[in-house]
Structure 1
Amino acid sequence: MNAQRIREPQSGVRGRLAYGESMALHTSWRVGGPADRWFEPADREDLSDFVRQLPDSEPMSWVGLGSNLLVRDGGIRGTVICLKDGFDEIRPELAVSGSRLVQAGAAAHCARLAKTCADAKLAGLGFLIGVPGTLGGALAMNAGAHGGETWDFVESVEVLFDDGHFEWLPKAAFETGYRHVVAPAGFAGFTAARLRLDADADGSGAADMKAWLTKRRATQPVGKPTAGSTFRNPQGDHAARLIESCGLKGHRIGGAVVSAMHANFIVTEAGARAADVERLIDFVRAEVERQRGVKLQPEVRFVGDAA
């Protein structure tokens, strides 16, 4: 830990504050070195006070379920913020001219959000049933599946700025694209969103969601340590098809393995290190480019320092 860079906020906090927190406890790959400082705010006021008192030079990262994140073995410098209790409420009750606005906290699990909306007979977010993260993470990367993307449904988002104030911003304040989101200056993190959905009049949305969930369980390594899809799908093709066509299913580097069930998933085994995952990602990219002439782009984010 860089003790000179880290200093306590000027007043006490009510949430959980820890030092040298293992990021392997907070990522779906179950690998990663320590965060200099880890903070789980008790509520909005606690979060605002904490962020406002951080030094301007303090690096700040936000983590949800860590499901699209590779934290290197040397860990993360600065402060990592994780929203949990108090930031996961879902309210599918705001009626607006023929459609409805669902307000949800950034810590709401994507699968729970999809199911809650389906139970309220609202269509559109069924694709989130297979996204293994939180709404905040889905907003940060414009998560999507089955032809739907998170920002397709965003009406507005609540964000925290790095001076500690909250503000609701319209969708137009952000630049969004395929797995790509650019936030305005001073942005620290997402805390909530309002999503515009139509009524699922004939129940087809709920039926689609159930079908996608069944397919996911049959074709993906559900329940194993993965980060979901490792690579973005290139235009007009699928990363899994390209990887499998190169004979890479089951390929291993250390404790990281290309899933034999779905080639776009990398699974970690006991004793795996983040370096194993990163080396395997680099190897798969190089082989697909060598054999198929396609440069795959990772869908996962790499953060932190090497060991």
Structure 2
Amino acid sequence: MATLTLPRVAGKLTPNAPLAPLVWFKAGGAAEWLFEPADVEDLVGFLRELDPRVPVMGLGLGSNMIVRDGGVPGVVVRLGKAFAKVSAEGLRLRCGGGASGILVSSTARDAGIGGVEFLRSIPGTVGGFVRMNGGAYGREVKDVLIEADVVLRSGEARTLSRDDLGYSYRHSALPEGAIVVSALFEGRVAAPAAVQAEMDRIAAEREAAQPLRSKTGGSTFKNPPGHKAWALVDEAGCRGLRRGDAQVSEKHTNFLLNIGAATSADIEALGEEVRARVLAKSGVTLEWEIQRVGVMA
């Protein structure tokens, strides 16, 4: 695609852009093109004019993603500050697709809105956790989402209801190449002090249980029905298991770590070894929760 004539943009369009600095694992290849749109209109116009054969992928904070070492073909869209605003409207929160879960929950606190504190614990952006039906501490995005504004791969802007998104556990029916540019959440009346206390409780629990200060990709495998993924991994003897500089966390066994200069191939292969050991031990097939994108080197 490097010889392709791309549409003119108001934002920033970078060829062969390294993605490792933009993802939590700090590993992986480059985007063929990285597009940071100036606003929704810029994104709509770009996708409308872009050759439909060119694949498009959204990138948030890169917190739950393995970018393979061969890089990502086509265009990676990253939403910047123009998409990172959050505002309260009564008991509802209008959130840009590039806004963090921490910003959403703290804006809710200041407005006396409860029920979205769990977003404090999702290490990503609104666009990512709307797509993946992100959740934690007994709640999911589908419990608070009213609607989401998306730009389809064709460049068509649409507003999709929660039902349109076809949510299930860590999954939505959002079409391939669609970018979530904003979402509307709804909470309930709550005292700001109570919201802050719940946010503090969640933050403390995460700090105690998860390797938050490491190069990681967050929760690696989905919890199978009736099981906790971390317990299955632990029972299969995988705590601390290594492949090169990729390691299963000793603090929380559903986290993989890059403890040095691990390649994405190391990290993914370690995950597959864990899946094989869990299947052999318990008969349960773990499903990846982390997105694995791009091509092998």
* Deviant stretches of 4+, over 3 Å: 201-206
Paired residue for 2:284, among 290, 294, 300? 294
What is residue 124 of structure 1 aligned with on the other side? 115
Structure 1 distance, partners of 2:295, 2:283, is 30
Paired residue for 1:103, among 94, 106, 110? 94
Identity %: 36
Structure 2 distance, partners of 1:36, 1:152, is 36
Structure 2 distance, partners of 1:305, 1:158, is 29
CA deviation map 1:162-210 (0-9, x unaligned): 33232322222121010010026x8721100111111115954432221
What is residue 3 of structure 1 aligned with on the other side? 2
Structure 2 distance, partners of 1:302, 1:208, is 32
Tell me how large the CA RMSD over aligned residues is.
1.6
Matched-pair contact (CA < 8 Å) for 1:123–1:206: no
Structure 2 distance, partners of 1:187, 1:156, is 18
- Shift in Å at residue 72 of structure 1? 0.7
Structure 2 distance, partners of 1:84, 1:169, is 22
Give matches, 1:65-144, under 5 Å.
65-92=61-88, 94-95=89-90, 100-144=91-135
What is residue 166 of structure 1 aligned with on the other side? 157
Matched, 1:197 2:187: yes
Structure 2 distance, partners of 1:19, 1:201, is 48
Structure 2 distance, partners of 1:214, 1:37, is 39
Matched, 1:26 2:17: no
CA deviation map 1:30-87 (0-9, x unaligned): 1111111111011222222211110011111111011111111001110110001110
Structure 1 distance, partners of 2:2, 2:182, is 33
Aligned residue for 2:167, secondary structure, equals strand
Count the aligned residue pairs. Answer: 297
Q: Structure 2 length normalisation: TM-score?
A: 0.95
Aligned residue for 1:35, secondary structure, equals strand
Q: Structure 1 length normalisation: TM-score?
A: 0.92
Structure 1 distance, partners of 2:192, 2:150, is 35
What is residue 44 of structure 1 aligned with on the other side? 40
Structure 1 distance, partners of 2:177, 2:62, is 20
What is residue 239 of structure 1 aligned with on the other side? 229
Paired residue for 1:279, among 246, 269, 286? 269
